[in-house]
Amino acid sequence: MRISLLMRGALVQLLERLLVPLVLLVPLASVSFLAGCGGNERSSGGGTIVIGSGQDPRTLFPPLADLTQAREITELLFEKLAERGPSLNTLGDSGFVPRLAQRWDWSPDSLRVTFHLDPRARWQDGHAVRASDVKFAFSVYTDTLTRSRMRRDLIAAVDSITVGDSATCTAWFHQRSPERFHELVFSLTPLPEHLLRGILRDSSAMLAFAKSPAGNGPFKIVKWEQQVRLEVARSETFSGTPARFDRVIWTFAPDASTLFKQFMAGESDFLENLTVEDAAAAARQPDRRVIALPDYGYNFLQFNLRDGASARPHALFGDRALRRALTMALDRQLLARSVFDTLGRVGLGPFVRAQWSADTTLRQIPFDRAAAATLLDSLGWRAGKDGMRSRNGKPLAFSLLVPTSSKARQTLAVLIQEQLRLAGVSVAVERLEGPAIGKRVTTGAFDAQMGGITASPSPSGVKQTWTSAASKDGLNFGHYENGAFDAQVDSATSANSKPNAKAHYRSAYQIIVDDAPVIWLYEPPTRAGANARLQLNAAHPDAWWLGLREWSITPGKRLPRDAVPAQKP
Amino acid sequence: MRRFLLARGAQAVTVIAIVATLAFVLVHLAPGDPFASNLDDPSNSAELHAAQIHHWGYDQPLAVQYVKWVGNLARLQFGWSHSRGRWVTDVLRETIPRSMLLMGTAIVFGVFAGVALGTWQAPRRGSMAEKISGSLAIVTLSMPEFLVAIAALAIPAARWHWFPVSGIVNPAMHDSMNAAARAGDILLHLALPAGTLALLIAASVSRYQRMAMLAVLPDEFIRTARAKGAAEHDIVWRHALRNSLGPLTTIIGLLLPTLFSGAVFVETIFSWPGIGRMMVEAVGTVDYPLVLAGVLAGSVFVALGSALADVLAAFADPRVRIDA
Amino acid sequence: MKVAIGVLLVLVFVALAAPAIAPHDPRVTPESALEKNLPPSASHLFGTDQYSRDVLSRVIFGARVSLGVAAASVLLALTLGAAVGAAAGLAGGWVDAICMRIVDAMLSVPRVLLLLVLVATTGTLSVGGIVLLLGLTGWMGMSRLVRGEVRLLREREFVMAARATGASEWNVFVAHILPALVPTLLVAGTLALASVIPLEAGLSFLGLGVQSPTASWGNIISDAGERPGDVWWVVLFPGLAIVCTVLAVNTIGERLRERADPRQRLVP
């Protein structure tokens, strides 16, 4: 009993004692906080840009960094041989800008190209960048154990890479395909052989490298706190034109609304992928700017033409006429407008309007609810009392996978569900996160999905996404296979002139549009937001981060965070 | 006392053991190989997959697997998180302290506010002020956590810019601050998420505190103090308050599961990268090892927390014994 | 109390008569597809959401789902809790010990985490599945209560007397113990209702509960999406519906408890 009274007294005393310091601590800390970050406006450093991002990159190992989140960081940490220039040309080598390679020359038969590397180039640990690093990188990319998605493109174009002296290497191509130079320099990033050779099969060492790689680019990694932030600083060992920012910081928040609030509050300076509403709200602010990025994405409703993982045709979508009827039942114009307002543009086929192969005159399947109904009736899908159709007691119903990461696709899925309901088709929407969708789609465990592809300026991407070869080993998850389409694509990618290629692309596009393996929905307008304090000196048309090394902070608009110098890692 | 401590400790351990076993059962009920998703992940090799199956003993009889499972847990090995591309233990090492900071701050401020409110209310029983504040507490308790969090995020943070919108530190400045400024930076980011949780704790605690005070106020010693001519203010805030705090630790222990559930929503809405948001994301990405580690960590936290609360309560008043 | 019962009755009426009361179709209609995010007005009293759906109609239809899921899951939890609690209480001994240890363990897992684990293993759920999940995670506290009551009742004279006449355990349970449990179950059920409604709303808000286009109060709020501050009406009205319901149910529960056992104190 005595102990208890003592303890109770002690507890109360403890509470009383804690109260005062706690109450004092908050204002005290705020004052010291202000003192800690104020001033220092005089510093003339390059400043700090904060970029809002929805997701961590999963890895910073270039062969595996194929998603945008990873590319925008690795392409600042690593320097490629050459970069596709602002012209976005992908044929031959015209327009390509020298990076690690100062120049290159072709063999007379155009089957070899020799790169002359910058002799001053250094890895961020101080070692020189050698030609053997390029050769080594090729061996890593093409090793099946690496599982790089760039492997297919690389081995399709390049036979091997040989080393001349420490600063020259030669790439040997299989054939004179028009985009062979692009395939090589776009896919391949040189890797530091002296750091990686011994650890390629050691997963924990590779994990460490993928988290904090030593690159040869204009920035080096300083700190990566998963899901919170990633900081890179200007690299002193970089031999090219140095970047102007001292630091680039990504902050990560999973949902778009938080990111947008951060951007509007000035906590971040740059935000890619604004929704149409957010872009409008940002444009109303005098010190926020909205930038239209070139639109390389196209989104679609993809049918699975096969029954699960088997080779049998899907009970519904194996039927071309049914797919066409479903396409007719959708008012795609209204769908695009209801999500993107006036910026909404209907998808036309497996291409985007920004590609040179684009063709807006293709014969499209028109929106016609009555024709769709007639067609469905003729296929034996009769409407019941509730208006929903069925055939031999089997309802006309399917499930539609939608990634939770895409607000637009979720909205559209709901709208599509409603429009198809009017046609007597019942759709169950399944919302899943990206990786879960990936698993279902790659194993064939789906009826239909709301898919999207970010195309590159080169139209040859259709090879990886819609041909029969891509159905076996590629991104053609719906297993659309049509020999006539494949043949036209092959002719187009090996054609020697642009008009010739364009004609073949047109024929290919018309075939796939008529077959309706997917419903081409829309090309999303891509808008980025930038704080007006940024000077966006170079806007790179296809990948904004490639211009970032030339961006800077407007002198009068510096913030306390701009005074923080590039730190030693 | 020692016997009580042992019994209470044994109870907590039993609880954790049962939860671990339930988790084992669940992972085996779940369709397919829990590491199958590793195969879809291009950064993981087939060898890693095979190594994991072996490491976790999925190629062995169920009984052996169970022993291995327990052994791995004892060594705090929870496997590989495919959605993060890291070992689960590394993820936990980052997320648990963040959640503890959030919940700890919320408890400290929530309990203080709740005790103060309840103590203030008790002597004013029946007055308008007491009725209004009491109803406000009940209304607060009837609000789902996520609704409070949305409101806190939408108005003071997003509209008035009083607080940062999300995250745990100022991403561009934190590393270059001095120690005091760092603490201030963290507090500033903590204010809204911890405040949301603290509000809910305060509402709950104030109701108990009010009742505890009402139970104490008619006591003999209070009348004695009053007879001695002590000021009314001193009677309430010194004598009565001191004697009403006995059940407080028990109540905090009982609030822990609710607090943890609340943290799941608050962390998700404020992008606070703690264990709650980790769980929600792990469910979304079907990352079993991460989900299981999260649920285990959550139950260990609650089991140990309530055991600690009971022990403290027993120290404070040996008459209080919880049937073990 | 009267107000609370009134509020609840109105809500139940709204839920039952939803199709008759709702001014609009709670789903998207092709004609209205371009009326998104409209603030409250005469034609849309609660405004519209980002899919151009009438929020008032969704709140009305949401009452059906939210109240229905809550009521059904509480019934399930009550049944399970009563069964386990009665079994443990009647059997006693090691059956009792094991049951109660398991119940303790499950009680120490925060319920939201338990639900998250179950959702992770089952995937996206139908409304029935959510009822099942909420029921399966809600019975533990009730079983403790029932077990305590049963152990007390077992020793009471009228039960002893009944057993002495040679009635089977089952008959004694049905005829004597079960009726005596009703007040306890009623109170526990009402209070459980008050905790299940926000829980379902929270799960649906996270996108793990009731799936759109079926409206539940929780997923209406998540339809506010990007900027809840700008489309406050999409958050406020379903939010008010939740708070009012929980408040009403809580008030009724507290009163019932006071009536059933005035000595009992609050337990969270």
pLDDT at A105 > cutoff 80: yes
DSSP per-residue letters across C43-57: SSTT-B-TTS-BHHH
The lowest-confidence range among A207-211, B7-11, B60-64 is B60-64
Q: What is the rounded distance in angstroms from the CA atom of residue A140 to the CA atom of residue A143?
A: 5
pLDDT at B295 > cutoff 90: no
Q: How confident is the model at residue A20 (pLDDT cuts 50, 70, 90)?
A: very low
Q: What is the mean pLDDT of residues A479-497?
A: 90
What pLDDT, on a 0 to 100 scale, did the predictor assign at position B35?
Answer: 56
Q: List, for residues A215-225, the tens digit of each pLDDT value.
A: 999 999 999 98
H/E stretch holding A68 reads: helix A68-77
Is-cis flag, bond preceding A457, omega within 30?
A: no
> A380 or C93, which is more confident?
A380
Exposed / middle / buried, residue A474 (Cβ in 10 Å: 0-12, 13-18, 19+): middle
Exposed / middle / buried, residue A557 (Cβ in 10 Å: 0-12, 13-18, 19+): middle
pLDDT at A336 > cutoff 60: yes
Q: What is the dihedral of CA B53, B55, B59, B65, to 10 degrees?
A: -120
What pLDDT, on a 0 to 100 scale, did the predictor assign at position B49?
Answer: 60
Show which of residues 59-118 on chain C sit within 8 Å of chain B, judged by CB atoms.
101-102, 104-114, 116-118
pTM of the model: 0.81
Q: Which structure tokens are listed for A320?
A: 């071309």
| Closest CB from B168, B172, B243 relative to A564 | B172
Q: Which residue of chain B comes nearest to A432, CA vs CA?
A: B284
Q: Residue C187: name the closest of C258, C83, C108 by CA.
A: C258
What pLDDT, on a 0 to 100 scale, did the predictor assign at position A213?
Answer: 94
What pLDDT, on a 0 to 100 scale, did the predictor assign at position B324?
Answer: 35
> A208 or B35, which is more confident?
A208
Nearest 5°: the CA angle C79, C80, C81 is 95
pLDDT at A387 > cutoff 50: yes
Q: Which structure tokens are listed for A334?
A: 């209204």
3-state secondary structure chain B: CHHHHHHHHHHHHHHHHHHHHHHHHHHHHCCCCCCCHHHHCCCCCHHHHHHHHHHCCCCCCHHHHHHHHHHHHHCCCCCEECCCCEEHHHHHHHHHHHHHHHHHHHHHHHHHHHHHHHHHHHHHCCCHHHHHHHHHHHHHHCCCHHHHHHHHHHHHHHHCCCCCCCCCCCCCCHHHCCHHHHHHHHHHHHHHHHHHHHHHHHHHHHHHHHHHHHHHCCCHHHHHHHHCCCCHHHHHHHHHHHHHCCCHHHHHHHHHHHHHHHHHHHHHHCCCCCHHHHHHHHHHCCCHHHHHHHHHHHHHHHHHHHHHHHHHHHHHCCCCCCCC
> A127 or C224, which is more confident?
A127
ipTM over 0.95: no
Min Cα–Cα distance to chain C from A59, Å: 25
Are B40 and A439 inside 8 Å of each other by CB?
yes
A433 in reach of chain B (CB within 8 A): yes
Please give the DSSP secondary-structure letter assigned to residue A387: S
Q: Which residue of chain B comes nearest to A431, CA vs CA?
A: B284
Q: Which residue of chain C comes nearest to A401, CA vs CA?
A: C124
Q: Residue A115: name the closest of A128, A125, A130 by CA.
A: A130
In a 3-state reduction of DSSP, which class is residue C36?
coil
Q: What is the rounded distance in angstroms from the CA atom of residue A287 to the CA atom of residue A266?
A: 10
Min Cα–Cα distance to chain B from C201, Å: 8
The lowest-confidence range among A372-381, A408-417, B18-27, B183-192 is B18-27
In a 3-state reduction of DSSP, which class is residue A300?
strand
Min Cα–Cα distance to chain A from B296, Å: 22
Residues whose CB falls within 8 Å of the CB of residue B97, separated by 6 or more in sequence, listed in order: none
What pLDDT, on a 0 to 100 scale, did the predictor assign at position B263?
Answer: 92
Q: How confident is the model at residue A568 (pLDDT cuts 50, 70, 90)?
A: low
Question: Which stretch, A30-44, A90-104, B20-34, has highest mean pLDDT?
Answer: A90-104
Please give the DSSP secondary-structure letter assigned to residue A294: P
Q: What is the mean pLDDT of residues A242-249?
A: 92
What pLDDT, on a 0 to 100 scale, did the predictor assign at position C132?
Answer: 93
| Closest CB from A11, A61, A145 relative to B245 | A11
8 A C-beta contact, residue A190 and residue A216: yes
Q: List, for residues B83-115, the tens digit of each pLDDT value.
A: 777 788 989 999 999 999 999 999 999 999 999
C1 in reach of chain B (CB within 8 A): no
pLDDT at A65 > cutoff 80: yes
Residues from chain A contacting residue B83 (CB–CB below 8 Å):
435
DSSP per-residue letters across A423-487: TT-EEEEEEE-HHHHHHHHHTT--SEEEEEEE--SSGGGHHHHTSHHHHHSSS-TT----HHHHH
Q: Give the 3-state secondary structure percentages of chain A, helix then strand then coil, rounded to 5.
A: 40, 20, 40
- CB burial readout A78-93, b (16+ within 10 A) else e: bbbbbbbeeebbbbeb
pLDDT at A386 > cutoff 90: no
Q: Residue C59: name the closest of C208, C214, C216, C213 by CA.
A: C216
Q: What is the rounded distance in angstroms from the CA atom of residue B323 to the CA atom of residue B286?
A: 39
Q: What is the mean pLDDT of residues B240-255?
A: 81
Angle of helix B288-316 relative to helix C93-108, nearest 10 degrees?
A: 110
Select from A411, A427, A437 the residue whose CB has the most chain C CBs within 10 Å, as the one to mutate to test that interface. Answer: A411
pLDDT at B323 > cutoff 50: no
Residues from chain A contacting residue B241 (CB–CB below 8 Å):
12
B245 in reach of chain C (CB within 8 A): no
What pLDDT, on a 0 to 100 scale, did the predictor assign at position A340?
Answer: 84
Looking only at Cα atoms, what is the longest distance across chain C? 75
Count Cβ atoms below 10 Å from residue C62 Cβ, excluding itself.
30
Q: Of all residues in chain A, what percent carry a pLDDT higher than 70?
A: 91
> B173 or A391, which is more confident?
A391
Q: What is the dihedral of CA A550, A554, A559, A562, to 10 degrees?
A: 30
Q: What is the mean pLDDT of residues A518-540?
A: 87
**AA letter at A11:** L
Select from A333, A410, A420, A440 the residue whose CB has the most chain C CBs within 10 Å, as the one to mutate to test that interface. Answer: A410
8 A C-beta contact, residue B193 and residue B102: yes
8 A C-beta contact, residue A295 and residue A442: no
In A313-365, alpha helices (H)? 320-329, 332-340
Residues from chain C contacting residue B141 (CB–CB below 8 Å):
250
With a cut of 70, list the residues of chain C below it in pLDDT.
30-33, 225-227, 261-268
Q: Which structure tokens are listed for A7?
A: 């303890």
What pLDDT, on a 0 to 100 scale, did the predictor assign at position B240?
Answer: 80
What pLDDT, on a 0 to 100 scale, did the predictor assign at position A486?
Answer: 94
Q: What is the mean pLDDT of residues A54-67?
A: 84
Count Cβ atoms below 10 Å from residue A393 Cβ, excluding itself.
5
Question: Which stretch, A43-57, A440-454, B20-34, C233-247, has highest mean pLDDT?
Answer: C233-247
In A85-218, alpha helices (H)? 131-142, 151-157, 180-187, 193-196, 203-211
8 A C-beta contact, residue A271 and residue C226: no
Q: What is the mean pLDDT of residues B287-301?
A: 85
Q: How confident is the model at residue B249 (pLDDT cuts 50, 70, 90)?
A: confident
Residues from chain C contacting residue A257 (CB–CB below 8 Å):
225-228
Q: Which structure tokens are listed for A524?
A: 């999303």
What pLDDT, on a 0 to 100 scale, did the predictor assign at position C32?
Answer: 65
> Per DSSP, what are the bridge partners of residue A400?
A429, A448
Count Cβ atoms below 10 Å from residue C211 Cβ, excluding itself.
19
Min Cα–Cα distance to chain A from B98, Å: 12
The lowest-confidence range among A71-75, A138-142, A313-317, C22-26 is C22-26
Count Cβ atoms below 10 Å from residue A505 Cβ, excluding itself.
27
pLDDT at A18 > cutoff 70: no
- CB burial readout A331-352, b (16+ within 10 A) else e: bbebbbbbbbeebbbbbbbbbb
Q: List, for residues B213-239, the tens digit of each pLDDT value.
A: 888 887 777 777 777 777 777 778 877
Are C50 and A281 inside 8 Å of each other by CB?
no
The lowest-confidence range among A38-42, B75-79, B232-236 is A38-42
